[in-house]
Amino acid sequence: MLYWYISKKDQLGEVKFLNYGFDDGTKIELSKNDETERYPLQLYHHVVSAIEINQLDILEVGCGRGGGSSYIARYFKPKSIKAVDISGKAIDYCRKNHIFPTCEFIKADAQKLPFNDKTFDVVLNIESSLYYPDVEKFFNEVYRVLRPNGYFLYADFRYRINIASLKEKVKTSKFQIIRSENITKEVVKALETDHERRVDLIKKLAPRLITALVSDFAGVKRFNTYKAFAKGKWEYYFYVLKKN
């Protein structure tokens, strides 16, 4: 619902990311045009820079507004990047606002990916799987479309009481765990550092009637989402997984 609303209201394409960001105290080098959304971009950078992806075939599942795939195409120089999302509105936005020769946006279901076996070197999924009906089925689809020795870069959050279940699903998947990292602290720091920008965008795009709802969704301080991260009720993990 909020995806649809943002797509409708953001006619100028000001919101290219819907993730909560990453701030570990360092600043990656960005162009002037990308500086505004630094902290959501830094989340992508932290995840993608875990391996070397130059001249590889990349798939992003759950691309949302497409800013991450655009960033990867422009800064990391993969051979190709295909980005899928279940929202047709999101894909329409991406095709209009992210025109890059190696980047293609496709409407698709994460649990039924429209690609042949062993198509990609790397699959990326950031802050998208929380509401997938069957995460294990999604993991199996990722494994299927990856080439041997391919990597799955996976970052998402869960309630603390549910994080053990996610860890178990990762552990019992077909993937080898190369790296497991709790990045909750860095996500909270990004929400704090990026607070004013998020508030300004909400004032600009959201009518007063739904300001509180959008503020919570965006992780604005004093609202429940931010509090859940800050108090440890939600935990955010990043995994580097490998197909043997």
Question: What's the domain range around 199?
Answer: 2-242
Q: Cα–Cα distances in Å, from 50 out to 24, 63, 84, 161, 165?
A: 15, 19, 22, 28, 24
What is the C-alpha separation between 160 and 144, in angstroms, rounded?
29
Strands across the sheet containing 80-85: 103-107, 80-85, 57-61, 120-126, 146-159, 234-242, 176-182
What is the C-alpha separation between 162 and 234, in angstroms, rounded?
9
Using DSSP's 3-state secondary structure scheme, residue 158 falls into strand
Please report, for the domain that includes residue 228, its CATH number. 3.40.50.150
Q: Which amino acid is at 183?
A: I
Judged against a pLDDT cut of 90, whether residue 205 lies above it is answered with: no
**Mean pLDDT across 14-23:** 88
CA 86 to chain centre: 14
Q: At what angle do helices 184-193 and 195-205 cross, to 10 degrees?
A: 60
pLDDT digit string, tens, across residues 28-72: 999 999 999 999 999 999 999 999 999 999 999 999 999 999 999
Percentage of the chain lying above the pLDDT 70 cut: 94
**Mean pLDDT across 147-165:** 96
As for how many domains the chain has, the answer is 1
Could you say which DSSP state residue 24 is in? S
Q: Which amino acid is at 5?
A: Y
pLDDT digit string, tens, across residues 104-119: 999 999 999 999 999 9
* Banded model confidence at residue 15, pLDDT cuts 50, 70, 90: confident
pLDDT digit string, tens, across residues 117-134: 999 999 999 999 998 999
- Whether 105 contacts 129, CB under 8 Å: no
